[in-house]
Amino acid sequence: MLIPFTLNSKEVSVDVPAYYKLSDVLRDEFGMYGLRSACRKGYCGLCSVILDGKLVYSCLIPVFQIKNREILTIEGYAETEDFEDIYKGFKKEGVHLCDFCAPARTLSTGILLDRYPRPDERQLLEILTAVNCSCTPYETLKAGILTAARFRQRRVN
């Protein structure tokens, strides 16, 4: 099945069986190795991508569902100013993420800050539980996200 979609702001298409999972197609057909396919059941969140502006677990999505939709992976997100805000915020607060969760944590933080420019405790907890990894303490991650939010607020205002 030929499936056209937008990947990191580029029009692409892929010819694979409709039941293939999005995570496999992104990694195998497009070399998007920033996403991980660890649990393959939607538990860990390491395969997170942004689909039409929403954070989703790509291991749960059959590829036919992305026809004519827009996907943003960490590779595309890393080219944005929003990524720079997160990078600077995490660095300033000493957030050291492991290689497995860093892409998903960054994307989930980006989505959080898009939705809530000044996130409260409940919103932070919601996004921090989207990715199942314990490489960085909650309080350190929280500080990094809040600092990233301040960097973004200064840039956009």
Both 52 and 90 in one domain: the answer is no
> Tens digit of pLDDT for each residue in 130-155?
899 999 999 999 999 999 999 999 99
Based on the fold, state whether residues 56 and 14 are members of the same structural domain.
yes
Cβ(71)–Cβ(49) below 8 Å: yes
Strand partners, 5: 12
Same domain membership, residue 98 and residue 63: no
Does one domain contain both 54 and 116?
no
Answer yes or no: do 11 and 54 share one domain.
yes
* 66 Cβ contact partners less than 8 Å away, ≥ 6 residues apart: 3, 5, 22, 51
CB 48 within 8 A of CB 77: no
pLDDT (tens digit per residue) in 99-137: 999 999 999 999 999 999 999 999 999 888 889 999 999
Range of the domain at 28: 2-76
> What pLDDT is recorded for position 33?
96
Residues 20 and 37 in one domain: yes
CA distance 15 to 2: 4
Residues 8 and 57 in one domain: yes
Give strand pairing partners of 71. Answer: 7, 51
